[in-house]
């Protein structure tokens, strides 16, 4: 399977299934389904496909990160609260051979102190935070650009 035929994995962590109704002043009014539709349309316009998923389960997300490394051309990861707690997800990101862009809807550095640390960032090619749903599209553009510089993270 050529790189162009492989999908971009977009993985979303705990509670992101509640977007649109959960603290819209922090996370925005868009639902996860609306973000998925926007991103799939943007990807199609760029000749890419998206494999978009959400789970509240850490182990399932680790499995999907590994799958993205084996079957994808890149990974957009919003690990949500696991960003700040999951060594396992950080290790999985560091172990895969595709570029990873970490995304957060809110500016995690303008929030509580515990949100300022990420176990994901060290293995990611880049981090986008504070732009709401637009951050996903920015990450897609970043992955497109990253293909020209190579798959390594960090």
Radius of gyration of the chain, Cα coordinates, nearest whole angstrom: 14
Neighbours of 12 (CB within 10 A): 25
Nearest to 43 by CA among 9, 12, 69, 79: 9
Cite the active site residues.
27, 104
Q: Are 92 and 62 in contact (CB under 8 A)?
A: yes
**Looking up tokens 């316009």, which residue turns up?**
45
């Amino acid at each position: 399977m050529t790189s162009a035929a492989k999908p971009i994995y977009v993985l979303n962590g705990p509670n992101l299934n509640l977007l649109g109704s959960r603290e819209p002043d922090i996370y925005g009014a868009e639902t996860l389904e609306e973000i998925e539709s926007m991103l799939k349309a943007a990807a199609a316009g760029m000749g890419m496909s998206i494999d978009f998923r959400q789970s509240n389960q850490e182990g399932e997300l680790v499995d999907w990160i590994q799958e993205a490394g084996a079957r994808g051309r890149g990974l957009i990861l919003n690990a949500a609260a696991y960003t700040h707690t999951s060594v396992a997800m950080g290790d999985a990101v560091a172990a895969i051979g595709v570029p990873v862009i970490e995304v957060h809807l809110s500016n995690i550095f303008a929030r509580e102190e515990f949100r300022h640390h990420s176990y994901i960032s060290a293995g990611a090619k880049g981090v986008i935070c504070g732009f709401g749903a637009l951050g996903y599209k920015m990450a897609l553009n970043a992955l497109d650009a990253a293909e020209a510089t190579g798959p390594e993270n960090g």
